[in-house]
Structure 1
Amino acid sequence: MDQFKALVVKESDDNIVHGIEEITLDQLDEGNVLIKVAYSSLNYKDMLAVQPKGGVIRRYPMIPGIDLSGTVVTSEDDRFTEGQEVLITGYDLGVSHTGGLSEYARVNADWIIPLPEGLSLKDAMVYGTAGFTAAQSVYALEQHGLADNKDARVIITGATGGVGSVALQLLSKAGYTNLTALVRKDYQVEVAKNLGAHHIVFPDDLGDKRMLSRASYDFALDTVGGDVAATIIPQLADNGSISMCGNAAGVKLETNVLPFILRGVNILGINSVTETNERRLLLWDHLATDWNISSDALSNEITLDEVPSVLAKIKDGQHLGRTIVKF
């Protein structure tokens, strides 16, 4: 363990650069649990972490990676023991605390979730932050009426991306029978259908933004934000809800009050970073049992050396499903 590999992001001559380096434990941030990382995963946020002005990294140098699963090496906290299998998503990991794209990680014990029975370390990262966010989104919608109507008209945006692909599978596994996938490219159509979509729409099919439109959907699981979300909100039916967890289509939401005051539409904000441990345990239990789609998820496995090229694909919108990193 004298030296090990990690992806490191640095400032260099007023630019941001990243690459695989050999580092030591001294270069990891402080924490009371040391973990030998088995898997990490790549998320949209990890792509932003290596970009100039990406708005993710708080200081440099930094090891990105907002997810990890692995085995406890040493622990100063009685809740965790040597050899125990664990996972982490969110908190400050890979943002202001050295993260999961490293063969070892030293972390705060409060961030750690024991690996749920029924999941392997690989399964946990097939989900990762994207899958956990999808679970949060489905749960929020179900708490606001979706669970009462298996035939509800549900639209999923970014339906073949990291969050959207898992959300589509979770909803399909849960027995929802009227799922619409919003995709942007022709090759994504068959992918979305294989994930469980009953209908396919493209952005142009949604029409223009209006004050209030015909009620075409009962619920929306939005992963992209921007004009896509703004166009869907006026199309939600009475007492409908939209969960929102991403901003790939933009951070601005240009809408009006009519859907909210005339139809009682709800916006449900989803934040995977600061979720309570109680809710985390509940959702991870769902992902390990009745919502378990890990064996069928759209995913591929890479090595740490391949991470930079896959992050470039995510930036260019050429990425499907989930990518996990095996150490």
Structure 2
Amino acid sequence: MTGFKALLLREQDRKVSSAIETLDTDQLSDGEVLVRISHSTLNYKDGMVLNGLGRLVRTYPHVPGVDFAGVVETSSSPDWRAGDPVILTGWRVGEWHWGGYAQYARVKAEWLVRLPEGMTAARAMAIGTAGFTSMLAVMALERQGLKPGDGDVLVTGAAGGVGSVAVALLARLGHRVIAATGRPETHDYLTGLGAAGFVDRAELAQPVTRPLQAERWAGAIDSVGSTTLATLLTQLKSRASAAACGLAGGNDLPASVIPFLLRGVNLLGIDSVLSPLPERQIAWRRLAAELDPALIDGMIETIGLDQLPEYAHRILKGQVRGRIVVDVNA
């Protein structure tokens, strides 16, 4: 096979640099399935990897990109045949294994999910890990009993990737969604996704001074962490739940146990990386059925591999709205 294009990271003196290089499929990781990639996406974690933060990548050179969509080129697994449309999210791809910022990837057969009927690869990557995580968070809240009509549901980091899809999903399911954001210029965008009201993120980011505040939220999806998560826990209604799925504001949790003891609230951890296959299949089927394609298209900004370093800086600074889709062939 002729060479293919990839964004390759190299490390020297603990500094990470990136360049588009030509690779050969013989250089790819072990696995039963070779996928010809058409699209990837940019998540917050990708921004960290491209900037060499968090020591998420231990071995260089490295191809980042935690998500990709494409078609099977070759397969030694009976589960997949050439031409099958597939999605991959998680499994430490883009961290421990070479990822989706390339025109080809070789992975284990059990890491792949079939692209749902009627969903394009570009739309799948507009959803990506961020949207998949949002769906897992919604499913976790539903398992704890959250129903439309229970009250306001808070989404923090609402204009980001996880938050945008969470707002759209919850609104589509009939919930009254309150979006927390520090960017007033995104209010029209979030209203279009279904947000019914707004909270300034600065209000939630204040240090917790009282173990309980007035009950406000029937549920919450939080991608911020730190004081934001600690504050919303004090505002959950009795027996309500918060799904924690991000740390854009920090990985600490300066919280009290009082909300758990006196209101019986629940803090639900969302792990999209190692989510088991049956849960993945349900989540992707629901995403295909419950997300309006027009709303997905309205979230998308499409870039090429050469623009990733710039956008990796922007996503870490909170300067990205919605979802960034990467066309690896652009």
Give the conservation status (yes or no) of the 8 Å contact 1:123–1:295. Answer: no
Q: Which amino acid aligns with 2:294?
A: S
Change over 3 Å in CA distance of 1:53–1:191 after alignment to 2: same
Shift of 1:10: 1.2
The residue matched to 1:271 in structure 2 has which SS?
A: coil
How far apart in 1 are the matches of 2:6 and 2:51? 17
Q: How many equivalent residue pairs? A: 324
Q: Contact (CA 8 Å) 1:146, 1:152: kept in 2 or not?
A: no
Q: Distance in 2 between matches of 1:43 and 1:145?
A: 29
Q: 1:259 and 1:55 mapped to 2: Cα distance?
A: 34
- 1:275 — aligned with what? 275
Q: Deviations over 1:205-236 (max 9, x none)?
A: 34651211111112111011111111110111
Report the AA paired with residue 111 of structure 1.
W
The residue matched to 2:295 in structure 1 has which SS?
A: coil
70-79 or 182-191, larger mean C-alpha shift? 182-191
**Who is 1:121 aligned against?**
121
| Contact in 1 for aligned 2:182/2:202 (Cα 8 Å) | no
CA distance in 1, matches of 2:317, 2:252: 21
Unmatched 5+ residue regions in structure 1?
Answer: none
1:89 aligns with: 89
Q: Is the 8 A contact 2:150 2:218 kept in 1?
A: no
Q: Deviations over 1:51-107 (max 9, x none)?
A: 233232132111110101101111000110011111111002111111011000011
2: distance between equivalents of 1:271 and 1:205? 27
Identity of aligned residues (%): 40
Q: Quick one: which amino acid aligns to residue 248 of structure 1?
A: A
* Structure 1 residue 173: Cα displacement: 0.9
TM-score, normalisation: structure 2:
0.95
Give matches, 1:32-111, under 5 Å: 32-111=32-111
Q: Residue 198 of structure 2 aligns with which residue?
A: 200
The corresponding residue for 2:3 is 3
Corresponding residue for residue 302 of structure 1: 303
Structure 1 match to 2:172: 173
Q: Is the 2:207–2:227 contact (alpha carbons within 8 Å) kept by the matching residues of 1?
A: no
Contact persistence 1:19–1:308 (CA under 8 A): no
Cα 1:151–1:237 shift into 2, 3 Å: closer
155-164 or 111-120, which moves further after superposition?
111-120
Cα distance in 2 for residues equivalent to 1:231 and 1:203: 11
Match of 1:323 in 2: 324
TM-superposed CA distance for 1:13, in Å, is 2.6
Q: How many Å apart are 1:14 and its aligned residue? A: 2.7
Deviation at 1:151, TM superposition (A): 4.4
Secondary structure of the structure 2 residue equivalent to 1:169: helix
Structure 2: give runs of 5+ residues left out of the alignment.
Answer: none
**Distance of aligned partners of 1:204 and 1:93 in 2 relative to their CA distance in 1, 3 Å threshold:** closer
Q: Match of 1:10, as an amino acid? A: R
Map Cα deviations across residues 236-291 of structure 1 (whole Å, 9 max, x no partner): 110010000000100000111110010000000000000010110111111111x1
Check 1:294–1:91 CA distance in 2 against 1; reply closer, same or farther (3 A cut): farther
* Aligned partner of residue 195 in structure 2, secondary structure: coil
Change (3 A) 1:204 1:311: closer
Give the corresponding residue for 1:183: 181
Q: Which residue of 2 aligns with 1:240?
A: 240
TM-score by length of 1: 0.96
User: Which stretch of structure 1 is more off in the superposition, 65-74 or 209-218?
Assistant: 209-218
- Give the letter for the 1:153 counterpart: D
2:156 maps to 1:157:
yes
Please state how far the C-alpha of 1:16 moved relative to its aligned partner.
1.2
Moved over 4 A (4+): none
Provide the secondary structure at the position in 1 that maps to 2:192.
Answer: helix
C-alpha change, 1:97 and 1:258, in structure 2 (3 Å) is same
Aligned residue identity for 1:307: L
Q: What code does the residue aligned with 2:304 have?
A: T
Q: State the alpha-carbon separation in 2 of the partners of residues 30 and 112 from structure 1.
A: 14
* Cα distance in structure 1, aligned partners of 2:293 and 2:129: 13
Amino acid at match of 1:310: Y
Is the contact made by 1:127 and 1:294 (CA closer than 8 Å) also made in structure 2?
no
